[in-house]
Amino acid sequence: MVGNAFKKLRRDLAFRHGRRLSQFNYWLLARLAMTMIWLLRLLPVDSALNFADRAARRIGPWVGRHNVAIANLRKAYPQKSDSEIQTIAFDMWGNMARLAAEYIFLDDLFDYDPAATKPGRVEVKGIEHFVHIAGEQKPHIIFTGHLGNFELLPVAAATFGMNITALFRPPNNPYLADYILSTRRSTMGSLLPSSTGASFALAAILEKGGNIGVLVDQKFSGGLETTFFGRPCQSNRVLGTLARHYDCDVYPARCMRLPGNRFRLEIEDKLNLPRSAGGSVDVHATTQLLNDVVERWVREDPGQWMWFHKRWEISGRRKKRKRARQRGEA
């Protein structure tokens, strides 16, 4: 019994020490990030964004996630050469750095004015859809992917008077999460953290006739078996389930980077959702349709998507392989 008690004490101490070390690492990373933010603020907007892009293209290949991005790109584009794959990965890191730096300058970047006579940094395509959704007294679902600066879409929605609640995943770093959340809330309206019970909160918003915005291009453990770039993956069924239950319109929306630190925000025509023989929305087919839309966007400019997500990792496969190896060793 003494031995078991000692083992338990050692595990508790290791756990506490590990938590403190993890919190210190989060704090240190947040301090470094805030220092970079302070330095970027000293530069003009274009200079800061271009500097962040150049720096990320040098640093990105040394980050562990670069290998994940390269592996994913080879799965998606088996016909491309190594140099073409590396070019897309470098573009991705530049896009990611710009996205991070653009948090600092959101108020300066979003200059869209429907009454303006000359173009600014932001142009909008599908204005009629923004206006229609804002004026229609019924629930809507708007979805997008991690493309360009997708954070500008809720800002555009607010500009057109659209009442929308965006589902987002906070960073694991609690210190950075606080900063990012405060920045988002000041410009993007209502936000809903992605956590246990988020689907019920989204349902409550639709029940009241509200609008929700959802990112749909990440791996979802235990999700529906679908395909992306022709390869098996797991996808969240929540959008299809909500669309079926509330029979609401679903619109694709995206942000595209343009030369000169400019952006095009677009809402496409509402989707014609696949339905079962009984007339209800087919959840599985709808989930696949969302993947197909995002894939089309990514193929148009692959350097603007986050390739370091483990999109094609299927939950449970690692454990099955480990158990198989253990049985083979026994």
Distance CA 201, CA 15 (A): 33
Provide CB contacts within 8 A for 26, sequence distance 6+: 172, 173, 174, 175, 176
Say yes or no to pLDDT of 9 above 50.
no
User: Considering all CA atoms of the chain, what is the largest pairwise distance in Å, rounded to the nearest integer?
Assistant: 81
Say yes or no to pLDDT of 50 above 60.
yes
DSSP result, 114-137: TT-SS--SEEEE-HHHHHHHHH-S
Higher pLDDT, residue 140 or 13: 140
Q: Which of 87-91, 155-159, 195-199, 230-234 has the lowest mean pLDDT?
A: 195-199
Task: Name residue, tokens 């679902």.
Answer: 141
Across all residues in the chain, what is the average pLDDT? 86
Distance CA 67, CA 87 (A): 14
**Confidence category of residue 39, pLDDT binned at 50, 70, 90:** confident
Q: For residue range 162-193, what is the model confidence (pLDDT) as tens digits?
A: 888 887 766 677 777 676 666 665 555 576 76
Cα-based distances in Å from 14 to 18, 28, 193, 214? 6, 21, 30, 38
**Confidence category of residue 322, pLDDT binned at 50, 70, 90:** very low
Q: Which of 130-134, 265-269, 326-330 has the lowest mean pLDDT?
A: 326-330
H or E element that contains 145: none
Say yes or no to pLDDT of 244 above 90.
yes
Distance CA 33, CA 50 (A): 17
Share of the chain above pLDDT 90, in %: 61
8 Å CB contact between 252 and 268: yes
Mean pLDDT confidence for 103-120? 86
**Confidence category of residue 275, pLDDT binned at 50, 70, 90:** very high
Q: For residue range 203-213, what is the model confidence (pLDDT) as tens digits?
A: 999 999 999 99
Q: Residue 228 region, left (φ>0) first, then alpha (ψ -120 to 50), else beta?
A: beta
Distance CA 298, CA 237 (A): 21
End-to-end CA distance of the chain: 30
Say yes or no to pLDDT of 75 above 90.
yes
Quick one: pLDDT at residue 165?
A: 87
Higher pLDDT, residue 229 or 3: 229
Strands of 145-208 (E only): list them: 164-168, 190-193
Share of the chain above pLDDT 70, in %: 83
Provide CB contacts within 8 A for 108, sequence distance 6+: 45
**Torsion angle (degrees, nearest 10) of CA 62, 68, 69, 72:** 160
Full-model pTM: 0.85
Quick one: pLDDT at residue 117?
A: 80
Quick one: pLDDT at residue 119?
A: 85
8 Å CB contact between 310 and 228: no
**Confidence category of residue 106, pLDDT binned at 50, 70, 90:** confident
Tokens standing for 75?
């799965």
Quick one: pLDDT at residue 33?
A: 75
Tokens standing for 218?
């990440």
Quick one: pLDDT at residue 32?
A: 79
Tokens standing for 184?
């988002």
Question: HSE on the CB side for 206, CA within 13 Å?
Answer: 25
